[in-house]
Amino acid sequence: MKTMFKKTLLTAAAATMLGGLSGQAQAVNWLKMQGTEPPGSAARARVWGFIQPEYQSTEGTELKGGGWSGQKAIFNQSRPDLKTNSSFNIIRTRIGARGTGFPLDSKVNYFFLAEFGNNGITRQGGGSVKLTDASVTLNHIKGMRVRVGMFKTPGSEEGLQAIHVFDYINFTNGANQLLLERFFDGDGSQDGTTDYVNKPNGPVSAFRDVGIQLFDWFYTGNWEHTYAVMVGNGNGITRGDNDDNRELYVYWASELMFPGTSPFPSASHVAPPVWSADQHGPRGARYQTWKLYGWYQDGKRTLTKENPGVYDRTRYGVGTTLRKGRIRAAAEYIVADGMIFSGTDGGALPGAANNAGTRYADFNVTTNGEADAWYVDFGYLVHPKLELDIRYDTLNRNTQSAALERKFSTLTFGAQYFFNKKSRFLINYEVRDAEAPRIDGSGLPAAQIQGAKDVLDSIDNRISAQMLIIF
């Protein structure tokens, strides 16, 4: 515990120093934007949604070593089907409604959103349409708003922000592997058989949970401070609790608001369908901001098959964001303890038989692992319709073991072209690298060490293109 708080203090100091160069998509109070409506002026029902067609491609390099050598590498396949190295896809199609209970009670807000796209939400657990959000917010108590239902959890900026204003196509390695949770029945430690291969037992978390949240914001001078405390099931979306254990979420953000105008007053770029979009729109912001934030999440996960039992799962992090003038930037540091998603056996596709025909590749979960991740991100609006972006992110997974530790790093070059405030085109090129930094001193057999290195050397760079249309 002492080590955890020491890390938190050190990283908080680092985030503060980076503040002058930081901000994701844009500095926005997402709890306000996604959880409440403007008092006395919101519609009873406002229908909205968005569509994101995309294309992703790698060279399709096969595994260079290990028990599945010569077979498809899971990290070189296109999401979410993992069947080909290049593919067109409708990654998201979401339709929802939001508003107030007016005229019955303008202090009651609701938010509803459903997913029709082809992704980790809809592909797992049967069915083709899933609810992602269904919540009610009560604004009757001064200083403490109450939100109940299914909604985004207060936490990392990358997960908390609205996905349709995300400045990149793919998440960082840290967000994808440590925060975008998959749920399993076992840990994948037993040899897979044709009768049982450890795979997700339902949708990804989508950075959401079902529960109750107390939150609000207040002002001191030009600073807006926001707090949130949430208790949830810790079992993802579209289902209830599975083990009588609750998840705790704690969040704080302090945001300095700079009065001023957009660097391009006539620019009209993608704005989220939320209230105060004129003040907090991603590109034409009336108020530009610098935000510091920290968050903590703690709960337990239950496995019922391989290594059955109840295991801890803790995540926490600190970060900072900035939008000022033509610049936006961000930095965040994340720490993970306990249960950690650890990919597949040999980097193979789940269910694939190894070359000896003795086992099938499982998804694996480390039940008592440690990991940390960080990213820095910078964007520059070179023209009212064009922004250039660059992001570097690193994940150090399973640092508790020299044999299991893996380091994933990605340098992403991006560009966004804004047709208007409700449509844009994104293109990304990711330079990806993976290594086992301490495996040489792990004591494993030489052949196993070389096999692991060959697997990681199989990772390709990736190019992605995506359209966004809001309606």
Tens of pLDDT along 234-267? 999 989 999 999 999 999 999 998 875 344 443 3
In the chain the domains, ranked by start, together with CATH numbers, are 2-470 (2.40.160.10)
Q: How far apart are CA 302 and CA 244, in angstroms?
A: 10
Q: pLDDT tens, position by position, for the chain (471 residues)? A: 434 333 433 333 333 333 332 233 345 789 998 889 876 667 888 999 999 999 999 999 999 999 999 999 999 999 999 999 999 999 999 999 999 987 788 899 999 999 999 999 998 766 689 999 999 999 999 999 999 999 999 999 999 999 999 999 999 999 999 999 999 999 998 876 777 889 999 999 999 999 999 999 999 998 999 999 999 999 999 899 999 999 999 999 999 988 753 444 433 334 433 433 333 334 444 458 899 999 999 999 999 998 999 999 999 999 999 998 899 999 999 999 999 999 999 999 999 999 999 899 999 999 999 999 999 999 999 999 999 999 999 999 999 999 999 999 999 999 999 999 899 999 999 999 999 999 999 999 999 999 999 999 999 999 999 999 999
Instruction: Give 55's strand partners.
Output: 88, 465
Beta pairing class for 423-435 and 208-220:
unpaired
SS3 210: strand
Residue 383 CB neighbours (<10 A): 12
Q: Is 12 exposed, middle or buried (0-12, 13-18, 19+ CB in 10 A)?
A: middle
Q: How far apart are CA 63 and CA 458, in angstroms?
A: 6
160 phi and psi angles, rounded to 5 deg: -75, -35
Span 299-348, pLDDT tens digits: 999 999 989 999 999 999 999 999 988 999 999 999 999 999 999 999 99
437 phi and psi angles, rounded to 5 deg: -65, -25
Long-range contacts of 443-452 (CB under 8 A, 24+ apart): 443/402, 443/403, 444/403, 450/65, 451/65, 451/66, 451/67, 451/69, 451/346, 452/65, 452/66
Q: What is the DSSP secondary structure assignment for residue 175, as one 8-state letter?
A: I
Q: How big is the CA angle at 384 (ends 383 and 388), to the nearest 5 degrees?
A: 50
Give the pTM: 0.89
Helices within 112-199 (DSSP H only) = 157-160, 173-174
Q: How far apart are CA 218 and CA 30, in angstroms?
A: 14
Q: How far apart are CA 272 and CA 465, in angstroms?
A: 20
Q: How far apart are CA 107 and CA 144, in angstroms?
A: 13
Q: CB–CB of 52/164 below 8 Å?
A: yes
Q: How far apart are CA 202 and CA 188, in angstroms?
A: 16
Q: How far apart are CA 270 and CA 282, in angstroms?
A: 7
440 phi and psi angles, rounded to 5 deg: -60, -30
Is the torsion defined by CA of 71, 73, 74, 78 positive or negative?
A: negative
The candidate with the shortest Cα–Cα distance to 349, out of 38, 78, 6, 130, is: 78
